[in-house]
């Protein structure tokens, strides 16, 4: 039976000298794998029809028992060409694809996750790399999977967030902790309260791209959400660490300092300058 669906390419790999293996997130069939026969031949009808981060209209031969399907036709609907020129945005797109590929089981129907990934890749292609964009999208992904961090109140006692510069966050407790509940959580770590407040804002308004975060807040959010993903999804993704590391600005080299007692020649006003 021939199936037709929209699908986003998550991974590509050679299957043989002429064929390729593609892992997709499809809209109706969930995460599926296909073999595209003859895709690497010079005159293949599949040339230019699929690539990483493409959203394609895919026709494939379905099987009742799952496994690797055989692709029949593939037509690109969204190519997201700017990702080929923006390497930082491409790294975050690779992280999102890796996150979906590892978090979802094979064949799991996840319509909301497909829509989430489609919108996230569109935003990266249009706006470029932004850590704020990634944090907003990570919160949305956790929401779709049913793991919603508690950020606007204490996850331990349910009390309101205190008006203090510092707060605590515990992945095992599910989120933010007050000063009274934090000592009882072994995995609680200190986190700036304004960073958690900003995450809470994005949680209630996931499409609000107007708010910006400082470098200090960005680093705190990276650690907090990384701990939460690691604890609840059992994922410690190298693709995430690499993308965030390369997104940070390079430190400026320190100016050389002359040793004590060294005489520094003047650049102006000397006889040699006048000559």
Mean pLDDT of the chain: 89
3-state secondary structure of 136: helix
Q: What sign does the dihedral 59-63-64-67 (CA atoms) show?
A: negative
207-224 burial: b if 16+ Cβ within 10 Å, else e: eeeeeebeeebbbbbbeb
* Averaged pLDDT, 142-159: 94
pTM for the full predicted model:
0.87
Handedness of CA 69, 74, 77, 82 (dihedral sign): positive
Region of poorest pLDDT, from 77-86, 100-109, 172-181, 185-194: 100-109
- Residue % of the chain over a pLDDT of 90: 73
Task: List domains and CATH numbers for the chain.
Answer: 2-127 (2.40.50.140), 131-247 (1.20.1440.120)
pLDDT single digits (tens) 1-34: 889 999 999 999 998 889 999 999 999 999 999 9
Residue 37 backbone dihedrals phi, psi, to 5 degrees: -70, 135
Indicate the range of 130-144, 157-171, 211-225, 256-270 predicted with least confidence.
256-270
User: Do strands 55-61 and 2-14 pair parallel, antiparallel, or not at all (unpaired)?
Assistant: antiparallel
Hey, what are 180's tokens?
């009274």
**pLDDT tens figures, 68-104:** 999 999 999 999 999 999 999 999 999 999 999 999 9
The C-alpha atoms of residue 55 and residue 77 are separated, in whole angstroms, by 6
Interatomic CA distance for residues 201 and 207, integer angstroms: 10
Tell me: the pLDDT tens digits for 237-268?
Answer: 999 999 999 988 766 666 665 555 555 444 44
């Amino acid at each position: 039976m021939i199936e037709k669906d929209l699908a986003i390419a998550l991974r590509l790999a050679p299957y043989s000298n002429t064929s390729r293996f593609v892992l997709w997130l499809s809209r109706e069939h969930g995460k599926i794998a296909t073999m595209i026969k003859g895709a690497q031949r010079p005159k293949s009808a599949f040339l230019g029809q699929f690539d990483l981060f493409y959203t394609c209209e895919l026709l494939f031969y379905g099987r009742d028992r799952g496994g690797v399907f055989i692709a029949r036709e593939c037509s690109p609907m969204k190519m997201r060409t700017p990702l080929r020129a923006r390497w930082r945005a491409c790294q975050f797109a690779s992280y999102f694809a890796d996150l979906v590929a590892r978090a979802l089981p094979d064949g799991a129907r996840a319509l909301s996750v497909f829509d989430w990934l489609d919108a996230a890749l569109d935003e990266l292609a249009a706006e470029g790399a932004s850590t704020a964009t990634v944090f907003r999208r990570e919160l949305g992904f956790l929401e779709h999977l049913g793991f919603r961090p508690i950020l606007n109140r204490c996850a331990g006692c349910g009390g309101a967030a205190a008006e203090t510069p510092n707060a605590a966050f515990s992945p095992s407790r599910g989120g933010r902790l007050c000063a009274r509940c934090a000592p009882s959580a072994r995995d609680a770590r200190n986190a700036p309260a304004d960073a958690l407040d900003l995450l809470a804002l994005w949680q209630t308004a996931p499409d609000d791209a107007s708010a910006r975060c400082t470098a200090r807040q960005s680093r705190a959010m990276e650690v907090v959400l990384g701990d939460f993903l690691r604890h609840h999804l059992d994922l410690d993704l190298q693709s995430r660490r690499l993308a965030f590391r390369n997104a940070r600005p390079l430190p400026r080299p320190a100016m050389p300092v002359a040793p004590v007692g060294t005489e520094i020649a003047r650049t102006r006003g000397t006889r040699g300058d006048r000559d």
